[in-house]
Structure 1
Amino acid sequence: MATDGPPLAVLVSACAMTAIVGLRYLATSGLFAWITSRVRPGHYTGLHGQIRKEIGWSLASAAIYGIPAGVVAWGWQEHGWTRIYTDVHTYPLWWLPASVLAYLLLHDAWFYWTHRWMHEPRVFRIAHAVHHASRPPTAWAAMSFHPIEALTGAVVIPALVLLVPIHVGALGIVLTIMTVMGITNHMGWEMFPRTLVHSRLGRWLITASHHQRHHESYRCNYGLYFRHWDHLCGTDTGLSEAFSSR
């Protein structure tokens, strides 16, 4: 009977994480979709069928994200597998913001190169075409992935917490940034002020104006949070002209 305990606990953790990811998606994408309806009434008119598909693919992705997250969460609680810590004094205080930046930079690098790979013709047809079926993308499209693509994204944070120390609060900040930027970059309009988007800082940050260009032209603007990989590799083609007058 004792051998049945851990597998059951892992299953429960995976199911709980799947539910959390799914509910987080519905709540946050729903919030930004509601904001869109208030700020830009009619912006998603005629896209109801597309949105239903986005929600369906996203909820499937929630399970793919939730399973490895649940396994790692169980390993952290039961066996201390991860480098997550709860005492802020375990590492120097400067590591709190530095760890957030490290996670974002590492996640961004993984995303850039896997995203470029997803645009290889054969891989695109098999997997990434699901995401690009959102034309134009909406607030519901942030997790609208084929299972293959979802898997490439689902392994990042679980792998990082096994390798790179991070305070549980800092990890929460990373997950919040990941969620908010994933959604706002797909809303189909720019919520950040032009003074930021067109500033020197904006040249290095990805917002909807930059990512919309990717959905228009496909073979450019591959980054997630930052534009340095696009700049270094010559794949940055600037901001969407459709947003220039907004």
Structure 2
Amino acid sequence: MELLPAIILSALVMTIIVGVRYLITSGLFAWLTQRIRPGQYDKLKPQMRREIRWSLYSAAIYGIPAGIIAWGWQNAGWTKIYTDIGLYPLWYLPLSLFLYLFLHDTWFYWTHRLFHRRGWFELAHAVHHESRPPTAWAAMSFHPIEAISGAIVIPILVIAVPIHVGVLGLVLLVMTIMGVTNHMGWEMFPRWLVNGLLGKGLITATHHEKHHSAYRGNYGLYFRFWDKVCGTDLGLGSFDDASSERSGG
């Protein structure tokens, strides 16, 4: 197969994979929400349809660079993804997992803060904040500009930082699960965990809900590190105040 058609096919296949992954994962947690908290989404059906539409647009945007990189890994050696577990010390496996999550979180934090600046917010990020309160379908509900900023991170990292293919799969799993669970509109984890030592460092729905209700602060994706370092950690929200007034863009 010629080069360009092969790359296009890879991008198309990856787009389908990303889209199906989104529908399965968000659909699963939306179903769980209906089982555990009946009526939670009853008044949000028009919003959910909008979230699904934007998310499927985002799936295509995420799928294109992912497909190009997947082709490059398998055919041209473009990446530092490796399959031989003995290529690096075993201690590098958890280190690379943390490194990828931290670097992704760093990129997300600073681009997220940028998208909250006036002009950028109205141009792109307002689409995501139309989900108020968010639902399990909102995880990828982005304007194409914002989707592009998120779609390039992992492809850049796999070109620059070695990672075992299994650890990369774990990174993508964490990204998917946390992206959905942080937007469900309710907290699935017990209070002792959210308010405990682990919750002080990790982001869950209670932390991210505060961002959606206050429209400022709590900009992180996985960790509260940059929010705490930069003084933008607003603490934990309450899903009872999800209808509070906007406090800024």
AA of the residue aligned to 1:220:
G
Q: Deviations over 1:106-142 (max 9, x none)?
A: 0000000000000001000010000000111000000
Pairs within 5 Å for 1:148-187:
148-187=145-184
Alignment correspondent of 1:97? 94
In structure 2, distance between residues paired with 1:201 and 1:47: 31
TM-score normalized with structure 2 length: 0.95
In structure 2, the gaps of 5 or more residues are 242-249
In structure 2, distance between residues paired with 1:165 and 1:53: 38
AA of the residue aligned to 1:69:
A
Alignment correspondent of 2:17? 20
In structure 1, the gaps of 5 or more residues are none
Percent identical pairs in the alignment equals 66
Which of 171, 187, 190 is residue 190 of structure 1 equivalent to?
187
1:202 equivalent in alignment to 2:199: yes
* Secondary structure of the corresponding residue to residue 152 of structure 1: helix
AA of the residue aligned to 2:189:
F
Alignment correspondent of 2:214? 217
Which of 228, 231, 236 is residue 234 of structure 1 equivalent to?
231
1:33 equivalent in alignment to 2:62: no
Structure 1 ranges of 4+ moved more than 3 A: none
TM-score normalized with structure 1 length: 0.96
- 1:243 Cα deviation from its structure 2 partner: 6.1
Q: Deviations over 1:41-98 (max 9, x none)?
A: 0000111111000000000000000000000000111111100000100100111111
Which of 84, 104, 108 is residue 105 of structure 2 equivalent to?
108
Which of 120, 133, 139 is residue 136 of structure 1 equivalent to?
133
* Secondary structure of the corresponding residue to residue 90 of structure 1: coil
In structure 2, distance between residues paired with 1:200 and 1:21: 33
In structure 1, distance between residues paired with 2:119 and 2:24: 34
Q: Deviations over 1:125-174 (max 9, x none)?
A: 01000000011100000000000000000000000000000000000000
In structure 2, distance between residues paired with 1:52 and 1:242: 22
* Secondary structure of the corresponding residue to residue 220 of structure 1: coil
